[in-house]
Amino acid sequence: MGFAGTGKIWMNGSLVDWADANIHLSSHVIHYGSGVFEGARCYDTERGPACFRLDAHMRRLVDSAKIYRMEQALSRKQLEDAVVDTIRANGFRACYIRPLIYRGSETLGVNPLPCPVDTAIMLWEWDTYLGEDALARGVDVCVSSWARLAPNTLPALAKSTANYANAQLIKMESVANGYDEAIALDPEGTLSEGSGQNLFIVRDNTLYTPSVASSILPGITRDSIMTIARDLGFTVVEQAIPRELLYIADELFFVGTAVEVTPIRSVDKIVVGQGTRGPVTEAIQRTYFDIVNGRVPDQYGWLRLVDADAATEHHAKPATAKATG
């Protein structure tokens, strides 16, 4: 999972060499976590490299910046185009996409407003987050002792660098205790999310997932999976969920840009279902990968092809395509 250390990074409108993509030590973001970011993927399809739901990711990036009063000049469309240009410049067929809007160097008072707002886009080749075999065999997780953010402390709806200090504590605790990942509770003691993944529970062929009131980041992949599941005929319920439902679930799985759709085979050493990927998870996982890899028609208009001619075709979506957001 280390970086190759080569290629180009987009910084404030210019493509610079990886080794030269530096910021000053006095940058506000280093000291106070004053940055917002996104994580998206570009997949290698038969029609060429294709970004999955890039428009939705850039919308959330702009929304996150707005919540943190970070005014930047680029529109969502300009940000999308900058991502595509950077992928082309690096010649990637598939990659992970990390746009970042952050406070740069001017002053180091807690007030960030005097500091410039800078924007960067970096890419790297990143395989399955928890390992390729995890997609089939599942992962072992625990319930973390660290809770997710309380309301009116840090905004959970913003994908802020500051929020991921909490996520790091959740992740490190799980690794230290011999687990692959952890599930955090919200301040009310009900289920929230993983260190960087949304959670789905399957019980009697119904999918349950914590609502935005449970201190979750409303994931783009989460939204996609709810759409896929409903179109496959499953009922999807968003609500507050008690911890103990984890232990009596038929199936559990994580979703997210990095983790994609990964089954959970045990929680706190209690086996989930039969201890293997369940049929509902497998059906949703298969459909998801068929879509992102371009093996089926893009009925939702979720893929933006990197090739210039294909990108033009992308914007001429059929009238039946569903809106994204």
Q: What are the phi and psi torsion angles at 184 (to 5°)?
A: -100, 150
pTM recorded for the entire structure: 0.92
**What is the mean predicted confidence (pLDDT) over 32-56?**
97
More confident residue, 108 or 313: 108
pLDDT surpasses 50 at 313 = no
Mean pLDDT across the chain = 93
Q: Answer yes or no: is 99 within a domain.
A: yes
Domain boundary among 93, 124, 155: 124
**What is the mean predicted confidence (pLDDT) over 108-126?**
96
The residue from 8, 77, 159, 317 that is catalytic is 159
pLDDT band per the 50, 70, 90 thresholds, residue 128: confident
Lowest-pLDDT range, 12-16, 123-127, 241-245? Answer: 123-127
Per-residue pLDDT tens over the stretch 67-86: 999 999 999 999 999 999 99
Q: Are 190 and 214 in contact (CB under 8 A)?
A: yes
Angle at the Cα of 27 (from 26 to 31), degrees rounded to 5? 85
- Considering the domain architecture, whether residues 215 and 67 belong to the same structural domain is answered as no
- Considering the domain architecture, whether residues 164 and 269 belong to the same structural domain is answered as yes
Q: Are 13 and 67 in contact (CB under 8 A)?
A: no
CATH for 251: 3.20.10.10
Q: Pull the structure tokens for residue 286.
A: 């298969």
CA distance 141 to 265: 8
Q: Pull the structure tokens for residue 60.
A: 């959330």
Q: Are 62 and 117 in contact (CB under 8 A)?
A: no
Angle at the Cα of 140 (from 166 to 172), degrees rounded to 5? 30
**What is the mean predicted confidence (pLDDT) over 93-115?**
97
The reply to whether 159 belongs to the active site is: yes
Q: Answer yes or no: is 323 within a domain.
A: no
Amino acid at 174: S
pLDDT of 308: 53
- Considering the domain architecture, whether residues 263 and 145 belong to the same structural domain is answered as yes
pLDDT surpasses 90 at 97 = yes
Q: Give the domain extent around 142.
A: 134-292
- Mapping DSSP onto H, E and C, the string for 261-288 reads EEEEEEECCEECCCCCCCHHHHHHHHHH
Lowest-pLDDT range, 87-91, 118-122, 313-317? Answer: 313-317
pLDDT of 133: 87
Q: How many structural domains are present in the chain?
A: 2
CA distance 135 to 130: 8
Give the rounded percent of residues in the chain with a pLDDT score beyond 70.
Answer: 94
Q: What are the phi and psi torsion angles at 191 (to 5°)?
A: -65, 140
Enter the DSSP assignment of 18. Answer: G
Q: Answer yes or no: is 90 within a domain.
A: yes
- Considering the domain architecture, whether residues 242 and 275 belong to the same structural domain is answered as yes
Q: Answer yes or no: is 75 within a domain.
A: yes
Per-residue pLDDT tens over the stretch 236-268: 999 999 999 999 999 999 999 999 999 999 999
CATH for 46: 3.30.470.10
pLDDT surpasses 70 at 142 = yes
Alpha helical stretches, state H, 155-307: 164-176, 220-231, 279-292
pLDDT surpasses 50 at 319 = no
pLDDT band per the 50, 70, 90 thresholds, residue 311: very low
- Considering the domain architecture, whether residues 21 and 46 belong to the same structural domain is answered as yes
**What is the mean predicted confidence (pLDDT) over 1-5?**
80
